[in-house]
Amino acid sequence: MVAALPAAGGLVLAGGSLLHHLLDGMWRYPATFLWPLYGWGFPRGHPEEWFWQWLAGLLHDPLVYVPEAAGGIVLLFFFGQLVYREGVMEFFTRGRF
């Protein structure tokens, strides 16, 4: 997919991926972040506890709720721009902003 993008689009995609990993704090989980460099086994989590841990972090941990709120504000801004410019259908059909 990246090869089909123009050079600038590929850089934006790479930069966005890097920023996403930084904001998620993936370096704290090297077995996940660097998989499969540590072997083909993948660390198993506890999916039944995931939602409650996420919710507790969202309600009490500023390292969780501040980036989530900032991301929500950015998404609302872009959605507002789509509605204002009447470009919602073009965004969904052609992927253009």
pLDDT score recorded for residue 72: 93
One domain for residues 16 and 50: no
Q: How many domains does the chain have?
A: 2
Q: How far apart are the first and last CA of the chain?
A: 19
pLDDT score recorded for residue 91: 82
pLDDT score recorded for residue 73: 96
- How open is the CA angle 35-37-42, to the nearest 5 degrees? 40
pLDDT score recorded for residue 60: 94
One domain for residues 36 and 63: no
Range of the domain at 37: 1-41
One domain for residues 55 and 93: yes
- Residue ranges, the chain, pLDDT below 70: 1-6
